[in-house]
Amino acid sequence: EPEVTQTPSHQVTQMGQEVILRCVPISNHLYFYWYRQILGQKVEFLVSFYNNEISEKSEIFDDQFSVERPDGSNFTLKIRSTKLEDSAMYFCASSEVVETQYFGPGTRLLVL
């Protein structure tokens, strides 16, 4: 069964550094998403992406964040200058149609 994959599984970085989280969505899917889950808190929507542009973003998704689909398979989330509060599990998801999103295993980001 096709799956969403994410790399790396864990990332430790220093505050102020840039990080890029990578995702490979399911191949025939057209809609892509990033969510995050701070430890002990709810899963929160960050951004959705369709047809090579952001279709919706939350208030969390400020200028420090960007997304890109650099080729036909990868979907990336970049955090330009990480803060301590960016420490979280980041989930990528994809969907063939709008309604049903399939999630990857997540990247656990720790900012020191």
Partner 1 sequence: AQSVTQPDIHITVSEGASLELRCNYSYGATPYLFWYVQSPGQGLQLLLKYFSGDTLVQGIKGFEAEFKRSQSSFNLRKPSVHWSDAAEYFCAVGAKEYGNKLVFGAGTILRVKS
> Of these, 48, 65, 77, 88, which contacts partner 1 (CB under 8 A)?
48
CB of 15 to partner 1, least distance (A): 25
Query: Residues 35, 23: contact at Cβ < 8 Å?
Result: no
In the chain, the DSSP E strands lie at 5-7, 10-13, 19-24, 31-37, 43-50, 53-57, 65-68, 75-79, 88-95, 102-103, 107-111
Residue 94 in the binding site for partner 1 (CB under 8 A)? no
**58 touching partner 1, by CB under 8 A:** yes
DSSP one-letter code for 84 = G
- Site for partner 1 contains 104 (CB under 8 A): yes
Binding stretches for partner 1 (CB under 8 A): 4, 6, 31, 33, 35, 41-45, 48, 50, 55-56, 58, 91, 93, 95, 98-106
